[in-house]
Amino acid sequence: MKQSLLALLWFFSSPITGFIYQALDKYMTLGWEISGEYITFQFLCEASWCGIGLSNTMYLSDMYVAVGGGSSTIKASMLDLWSENHDTPKADSEYWNGEYSIIEQYGYYYPSNTTGSSGFINVIFKRLLDTGDIWDTVIIPGRKMKINWAYLRDSNNANAGFKEHSDYSQGTIKFTTRKEDASFSTEDSDHEGFGMHGLVMTVCWLILAPIGIAIARYCKHWRCWYFCHLILLGVAVAATIISVSLTYHAHETPYIQGTSKPRHHSRLGLCLTFLVVGQGVMGLICGFLQSKSSHFGLISQIRRIHKVTGYSMVIGGLLNNSYGWDIFSSASLYHAGLGIVLGIWALFEVRHQISYWWAGLLCRRTLPAMTHKEAMDMIVEKNAKIMFYDELVMNVKHFITSHPGGGFMLEDAIGEDAGKYLVGCSSTNGDLLPYAHSRPALDYTKKLAIARVPYPEGYLDATDSSGDNNHMNWKINFQQELNPSTKIISLSSPHFQMSQNIKEPFWIGKHFKVTAKIGGTLTSRYYSAFFADLHSWASELNLSSKFPECKKGSIQLIYRVYAKGKMTQHMHNQGDSGELQLKGPLGPGLMLNAYSGNYLGFAGGTGLIPFLDVAYLLWSTKDQPLPMSFTLFASFRTKEDSFCFDILEATSRALGEDKFKFIPVIDKQAKEMSFPDLVKKYAGMKASNAWICGPSGYNDFIKGLLIEGGLERNKIIVM
């Protein structure tokens, strides 16, 4: 009671004629008088120090503080300060070109005789409305402006001096020359209005953005990944633009006034705002190009830019959040949250790296069985987007727009075995260099798999229980040249024997995956196996046989030795005593379901191998002819590169061209007419199916000619 009475006596004895007074709260009153180009302030407060800031925040604020304290009446000291953040403000004079702008000052601190009271301050000081100092806020009479005020009421220590405030508030005031024109209102603190901005930015860049990026990195096999990525990052971008715009509008500050962390935070935030706008637009362009464009170079560059910019943007956002929280109050809680997010991300990355093996195990154990024919029927009847990879059947419908190289690559390869593309020995149309996909990329095949094709029963007979078609070691019996650049290789295994006869038509054209560690890198390639006994076939045609005798139960492969081919050089260097690791038989092959119909075959180089079995089948059943005819085009760059031409030509003469017609094509030249016209001519003869097997450029070229010639796309099988 005594303390309150003293306060009232002190207060009512202090007002000065001509001053306008506004009670900021029950402990502090602010008075002012405007005269010409000057404004004079009076602080009346029950505290050991008190002050005002000419903004609604301690962040980048012009401040004036009166400091008292002690057990005796003393002259209060006036401070002209600049506050960068929530730390102790510094004098204007400590900054570039800063000056002490208080022109006149007088006033005292009066100690209280009452226990528990901090004493009283009554101080008057004068400054220019516009001091010309960049660290001082210009005061415009009659215009509302934001202010904040604080004081220290330390009942335990009246000598506390200028230490952290005990009370803090903010509001809006209008400094005028007449009391009736003045106005004042308080505002919710929310720590100067930055709390919501900090919360929004934290949610955007510590939660939404990492989740959106993680979905794009780890969940491309999920049908909804793109929309989730778009929504999460879209919300983050929109919220960032809105929050930053509102914050900049509410707290416009000249660049020079931003110091150290505030300056970095402000300018980095501005850069990131422009960056997120560009990144959002680039993301939409990237999505459009991947689904609609076939320009691989453009897609690739846009994706790289989008990816690098995205990661840079998130890293910058996380760093700027740290700056912001450090300025705002403390970044310790934010750093703890960041540590949790990074830890979760690390766990996802570890899982991502090891999931290839785990996914492969799950595929072998849990996927339902499906034949290649059943999968092909889904393509024809339901327009399903099916591809094959080794023993897996993959539904790529929802992955097409996610494919890094563009959706056109998958659209062009529907119904094909994707193995040759994934391991890097072929590309979809021949215009691009083959690309060996990474292990995480191969992991997606397991996630896209909807079924597993069982290994054909009887193709390989296991001689003991240790046989595993996924990992077979076959010993090289011998290798023999068919021409200077092409070899035939014979393989045998103690655990398996290959059937000597074609027991099922769908066996024809299947291949084996050969894997070896070459130069420290695991390399895989695919080679077609064949059943034809070339030695016996040539003898039956009365040809001088240059082919080796076929060893019972062995696998025969034919490969071309390339000077820079890692696998072919490895196989060549094995000689006659090495070992090869095989997996198979794999792939849809020729998809021949019955020995009837009229078929076309187009072979480019060693793509001739699967067609040897078709020709041999017609030859070996000549005594009981099958209701089936076959026209085979075999293309080689030079006559010297070719093989088996003598057998095929002799077979065609013996069976008749209505049964088996062989058309050799050397350097794109055929005897009858130009090669493209010849392909179109045969395409119009309503073949049951057309098989194409060769390099990717050749396959794409022939496919285009066949379609142009009138053959339906679903009758064209690209191997």
SS (HEC) of 406-467: CHHHHHCCCCCECHHHHCCCCCCCCCCCCCCCCHHHHHHHHHHEEEECCCCECCEEECCCCC
User: Is residue 423 within 8 Å of 525, Cβ to Cβ?
Assistant: yes
Residue 97 backbone dihedrals phi, psi, to 5 degrees: 60, 15
Q: What is the pTM of this model?
A: 0.65
Q: How confident is the model at residue 264 (pLDDT cuts 50, 70, 90)?
A: confident
Pairing of strands 660-666, 628-636: parallel
Range of the domain at 358: 194-362
Is a pLDDT exceeding 90 seen at residue 41?
Answer: yes
User: Is residue 273 within 8 Å of 241, Cβ to Cβ?
Assistant: yes
User: 671 versus 654: which is more confidently predicted?
Assistant: 654
Angle at Cα 419 formed by Cα 417 and Cα 422, nearest 5°? 130
Q: How confident is the model at residue 9 (pLDDT cuts 50, 70, 90)?
A: very low
Residue 598 backbone dihedrals phi, psi, to 5 degrees: -110, 120
Which DSSP letter does residue 164 get?
A: -
User: 213 versus 442: which is more confidently predicted?
Assistant: 213
Q: Single out the residue in 586, 611, 640 at which a domain terminates.
A: 586
Alpha-carbon gap, residue 558 to 641, rounded angstroms? 13
Reduce the DSSP state of residue 331 to 3 states and report it: coil
CATH code assigned at 166: 2.60.40.1210
> Does a structural domain hold residue 476?
yes
Contacts of 350 (CB under 8 A, 6+ apart): none
CATH code assigned at 401: 3.10.120.10
Reduce the DSSP state of residue 292 to 3 states and report it: helix
- Find the range with the poorest average confidence among 124-128, 278-282, 454-458, 661-665: 278-282
Is a pLDDT exceeding 60 seen at residue 619?
Answer: yes
Q: What is the pLDDT of residues 483-500, one digit of tens each?
A: 999 999 999 999 999 998
Residue 163 backbone dihedrals phi, psi, to 5 degrees: -120, 180
Q: Single out the residue in 452, 473, 507 at which a domain terminates.
A: 452
DSSP alpha helix (H) spans, 660-695? 675-683
What local confidence, expressed as pLDDT, does residue 667 receive? 81
Contacts of 546 (CB under 8 A, 6+ apart): 482, 538
Radius of gyration, CA atoms only, the chain? 42
User: Is residue 53 within 8 Å of 46, Cβ to Cβ?
Assistant: no
User: Per the omega criterion (within 30 degrees of 0), is the bond before 585 cis?
Assistant: yes
> Does a structural domain hold residue 11?
yes
Reduce the DSSP state of residue 602 to 3 states and report it: strand
Reduce the DSSP state of residue 343 to 3 states and report it: helix
User: Is residue 254 within 8 Å of 292, Cβ to Cβ?
Assistant: no
- Together in a domain, 358 and 371: no
Is a pLDDT exceeding 50 seen at residue 4?
Answer: no
H or E, element range at 498 = strand 496-498
Q: How many domains in the chain?
A: 5
> Does a structural domain hold residue 592?
no
Alpha-carbon gap, residue 47 to 121, rounded angstroms? 7
90: amino acid identity, one letter: K
- Together in a domain, 43 and 156: yes
> Does a structural domain hold residue 591?
no
Average pLDDT score over residue span 575-594 = 91
Among positive and negative, which fits the CA dihedral 590, 595, 598, 603?
Answer: positive
DSSP 80-119: EEEESSSS--EEGGGSTT------EEEEEEE--SSTT---
> Does a structural domain hold residue 327?
yes
Average pLDDT score over residue span 139-143 = 93
- Find the range with the poorest average confidence among 188-192, 221-225, 249-253, 670-674: 188-192
User: 608 versus 224: which is more confidently predicted?
Assistant: 608
DSSP 197-255: HHHHHHIIIIIIHHHHHHHHHH-TTSTTHHHHHHHHHHHHHHHHHHHHHHHHHHT---G
Q: How confident is the model at residue 571 (pLDDT cuts 50, 70, 90)?
A: very high
User: 443 versus 630: which is more confidently predicted?
Assistant: 630
Which DSSP letter does residue 590 get?
A: T
Average pLDDT score over residue span 508-519 = 92
Q: How confident is the model at residue 407 (pLDDT cuts 50, 70, 90)?
A: low
- Together in a domain, 358 and 376: no
Q: Single out the residue in 154, 187, 220 at which a domain terminates.
A: 187
- Together in a domain, 26 and 138: yes
Average pLDDT score over residue span 606-626 = 93
- Together in a domain, 344 and 246: yes
What local confidence, expressed as pLDDT, does residue 6 receive? 43
Range ranked top by mean pLDDT from 212-221, 253-262, 283-292, 333-342: 333-342
Q: What is the pLDDT of residues 105-114, one digit of tens each?
A: 888 888 876 6
H or E, element range at 376 = helix 372-382
Average pLDDT score over residue span 146-167 = 77
- Together in a domain, 122 and 149: yes
User: 663 versus 97: which is more confidently predicted?
Assistant: 663
- Together in a domain, 160 and 241: no
Q: What is the pLDDT of residues 677-707, one digit of tens each?
A: 889 888 888 889 999 999 888 888 999 999 9
- Together in a domain, 162 and 264: no
Is a pLDDT exceeding 60 seen at residue 193?
Answer: no
431: amino acid identity, one letter: D
Q: Is 377 left (phi over 0), alpha (psi -120 to 50) or beta?
A: alpha
Q: For the packed helices 296-328 and 194-202, what is the interaxial angle rounded to 10 degrees?
A: 140
- Together in a domain, 199 and 168: no
Alpha-carbon gap, residue 453 to 432, rounded angstroms? 30
User: Is residue 635 within 8 Å of 698, Cβ to Cβ?
Assistant: yes
Closest CA to 124 of 101, 103, 100: 103
CATH code assigned at 310: 1.20.120.1770
- Find the range with the poorest average confidence among 197-201, 247-251, 359-363: 359-363
Contacts of 278 (CB under 8 A, 6+ apart): 309
The token pair that represents 631 in the structure block:
């026209």
> Does a structural domain hold residue 574?
yes
- Together in a domain, 471 and 617: no
CATH code assigned at 623: 3.40.50.80
H or E, element range at 285 = helix 260-292
What local confidence, expressed as pLDDT, does residue 466 receive? 72
DSSP alpha helix (H) spans, 449-533? none
Alpha-carbon gap, residue 429 to 140, rounded angstroms? 71
User: 264 versus 316: which is more confidently predicted?
Assistant: 316
- Together in a domain, 673 and 708: yes
Burial of residue 227, with CB atoms counted within 10 A of its CB: 0-12 exposed, 13-18 middle, 19 or more buried: exposed
Range ranked top by mean pLDDT from 115-124, 302-311, 338-347, 641-650: 641-650
Alpha-carbon gap, residue 287 to 117, rounded angstroms? 68
Pairing of strands 597-604, 689-693: parallel
The token pair that represents 350 in the structure block:
């570890």
CATH code assigned at 496: 2.40.30.10
Alpha-carbon gap, residue 548 to 476, rounded angstroms? 14
Percent of the chain having pLDDT more than 70?
Answer: 87
What local confidence, expressed as pLDDT, does residue 244 receive? 81
> Does a structural domain hold residue 207?
yes
The token pair that represents 594 in the structure block:
């019955």
The token pair that represents 503 in the structure block:
């027991």
Is a pLDDT exceeding 90 seen at residue 237?
Answer: no
User: Is residue 212 within 8 Å of 232, Cβ to Cβ?
Assistant: yes
What local confidence, expressed as pLDDT, does residue 114 receive? 61
Alpha-carbon gap, residue 325 to 321, rounded angstroms? 6
- Find the range with the poorest average confidence among 275-289, 329-343, 509-523: 275-289
- Distance, C-alpha 634 to centroid of its chain: 43
Percent of the chain having pLDDT more than 90?
Answer: 37
Neighbouring C-beta atoms of residue 14, cutoff 10 Å: 17
Identify the residue whose tokens are 């226990």: 115
Average pLDDT score over residue span 382-390 = 89
- Together in a domain, 578 and 675: no
